[in-house]
Amino acid sequence: MTPVRARLAPGLPDVSAAERRRLLTVILKGVSRSFYLSARALPGGMREPVGLAYLLARAGDTIADAAPLRRDDRLRLLLLFRAQLDGNPSAEALAEIATALDGTPSEMRLMRALPQAFAMLESLPSADAQQIRGVVTTLTLGMEMDLESFPPGGEGGAAALRTLEDLDRYTYLVAGCVGEFWTNVMMARTPSLQEWDAERMTALGVRFGKGLQLTNILRDVPKDLRMGRCYLPQEMLAPAGLNPGGLRGEASGAAARAVLDAGIEMALDHFAAAEEYVLAIPRRSLRLRLAALWPLMLGLATLSTLARGEAWLDPFRPSKVRRRRVYSMMAFSLLAARSNTLLRAWIARGREKALMVCS
């Protein structure tokens, strides 16, 4: 097939239509699970900018999480990666980053494909490229905060963020900004959204992202503690008489349960904004509705799984939504998304499943 000519920086390859499809299908699916499902539901015009933004963000995340490397080396490579987003990517710099890493096969396929990904970015309309550079840059600021907030390799035990304000900033940097990006891309491409109040919908989108990230934080506490990280801030732990180190021995204790309940209620508060966001998408824009609805329902299902769990902090009993439940949810969503009344009832039921256990 004829390659798509891009405004290429020196050393970057031409990227053919087939290579673009491979980036947004094979490579994207290899480094994502739930996001890939949402991306497939998007209208064709949104898949490219949203999918590419995810791939670049995932590349940054792979650098930040490259455990075999010292923290200083990861930070240096992350800053080098961020510099490539300024509009003059260097093939040599991208090769240096890929060569320094040793990730999973799927991660390494992504890292080796970074020259094609940046060539694709260079070929997009300037408005799209600007949005992608902006959101990925913000996401890497969250990754940098990660690396600077916690001791390398868990040295000296687990450390926690200090305040609820720190947690709110972190959830914005690593997820809330995605809601902002998603809203901008949707509004630019969907005539039925031209009447949206951009400021209000952006704020709802930010809270949507924060709720999803807070849910991930609650789910991953046992795994993060083993890496020396506790995203639940000291300001949240101290009233329950806990600290990050003490959490490890509180798998089913009342104090840990109180912290979990508080975290679930915080996430559900954000998900109330997410519900408004989903319902604001017109029913006739079914693909957009589904792409926003699936993360919300998966988030609610995760919270209810956490709420029912008897040993939240047991690293050998992770709180995970079963794949069968995910597919069942997706099937029902095809019906529910077409009716605001049914959709509200379904979301309310998901919220109640988490709240009933908390109360």
Measured between alpha carbons, how far is 219 from 350 in angstroms, rounded to an integer? 17
Its pTM stands at 0.90
Task: Give the pLDDT of residue 281.
Answer: 96
- pLDDT band for position 3 (cuts 50, 70, 90): very low
Measured between alpha carbons, how far is 290 from 277 in angstroms, rounded to an integer? 12
* Fold of the domain built from segment(s) 1-149: Farnesyl Diphosphate Synthase (1.10.600)
- Concatenated DSSP letters of 254-300: HHHHHHHHHHHHHHHHHHHHHHHHHHHS-TT-HHHHHHHHHHHHHHH
**pLDDT one-digit tens code per residue, 76-89:** 999 999 999 987 89
What residues pair up with 16 in beta bridges, in sequence order? Answer: 3
Hey, what amino acid is at 283?
Answer: R
What is the overall mean pLDDT for the chain?
90
* Domain layout of the chain by residue ranges: 1-149, 157-359
What is the average per-residue pLDDT within 319-342?
Answer: 93
Architecture of domain 157-359: Orthogonal Bundle (1.10)
Does the structure show a pLDDT above 70 at 206? yes
Residue 227 CB-density burial (10 A; 0-12 exposed, 13-18 middle, 19+ buried): middle
Same topology between domain 1-149 and domain 157-359: yes
Q: Which of 67, 161, 170, 59 is nearest to 117 (CA)?
A: 59
CB atoms within 10 A of CB 170: 23
Q: Tell me which H or E stretch contains 145.
A: helix 126-149
C-alpha of 288 from chain center? 18
**pLDDT one-digit tens code per residue, 149-201:** 987 765 557 899 999 999 999 999 999 999 999 999 999 989 889 899 999 99
Measured between alpha carbons, how far is 102 from 108 in angstroms, rounded to an integer? 7
DSSP structural state of residue 192: G
**pLDDT one-digit tens code per residue, 242-278:** 998 878 766 557 888 899 999 999 999 999 999 999 9
Owner of token pair 């923290």: 71
